[in-house]
Structure 1
Amino acid sequence: MFNDLLTIVANDYRRCLLLTLLERDRNRERDVRLPDDVAISGAKRDEQVAELRHCHLPMLASGDLIEWHQEDNWVAKGSRFDDIEPLLRLLYDHGDELPDRWLETPVAAK
């Protein structure tokens, strides 16, 4: 189980999305709009959308970590988000202690 969680957060796109959901939850916001609320610095928008839509979102949704609303282009915490939340909190709370680029931070494209 722990190895699976590490695999999930090993990818910049997935980690960024999950950390954004965690942050939104702390701010009492429910959902994350795609791709505007989650952007990886240096990534081209079209490539990011394609990779999220065809790879990462289906993976996270199939594991019930996110609830993906394809038609409206947003995600929310899934029924199993609690499984990964302790790891995300650890990363989020100690991000400033980690080497640069270990955590890709969301770059809002608003």
Structure 2
Amino acid sequence: MTQQRYQNGKQVIKRWDDVFKAVTAEPRRQLILSLSDAHPDETVPLPESAVNPNVPRDPAVLRQKLYHCHLPMLSDHEFITWDTEPLVAGRGPRFEEVAIVFESLQSSATDVPDSLVFGCQRLEQERQDGFDDPVAE
């Protein structure tokens, strides 16, 4: 029993480490959000779906970083699947493990510190919607 709890604990720690590693880079966060907005069986085009609309990047540079860094990392952890021609990404078998981080943030946007909201279009919108919703009051 103790050995099983130990193994389960190690597995859960590794999964959380994988999730938090996945969300440490902006292109990965944007891609996860884009996939969350898409139908579960759809793919999203890249690099467009990995761009922060407030801070556009050179598409050629982003495409290269996606191809060599971000997409392999997300794919290795089974958060996404991806193809090269055309360059697209879809939800992987463990996608929900990483998507829940953003769903949780969005559902509590009114409680997120201002320093993490302003400049993030999605959280700004969620916060505004929360303030406009009479049920939330």
Instruction: Give TM class, smaller chain.
Output: 0.7 to 0.9
Shift of 1:12: 0.3
Larger radius of gyration: 2
Structure 2: unaligned runs, 5 residues or longer = 1-14, 123-137
1:14–1:56 distance in 2 versus 1, CA, 3 Å = same
Shift of 1:51: 0.7
Match for residue 59 of structure 1 among 28, 49, 73: 73
Does the 8 Å CA contact 1:66/1:77 hold for their aligned counterparts? yes
For these two proteins, the number of residue pairs brought into alignment is 102
- 1 or 2 for the larger relative contact order (CA 8 Å, sep ≥6)? 1
- The alignment-based identity, stated in percent, is 25
Give the structure-1-normalised TM-score. Answer: 0.76
Whole-Å Cα distance in 2 between the matches of residues 39 and 89 of structure 1? 19
1:37–1:80 distance in 2 versus 1, CA, 3 Å = same
Whole-Å Cα distance in 2 between the matches of residues 104 and 63 of structure 1? 27
- The RMSD of aligned alpha carbons is 2.3
User: Structure 1 counterpart of 2:46, which letter?
Assistant: L
Structure 1: unaligned runs, 5 residues or longer = 106-110
Give the structure-2-normalised TM-score. Answer: 0.63
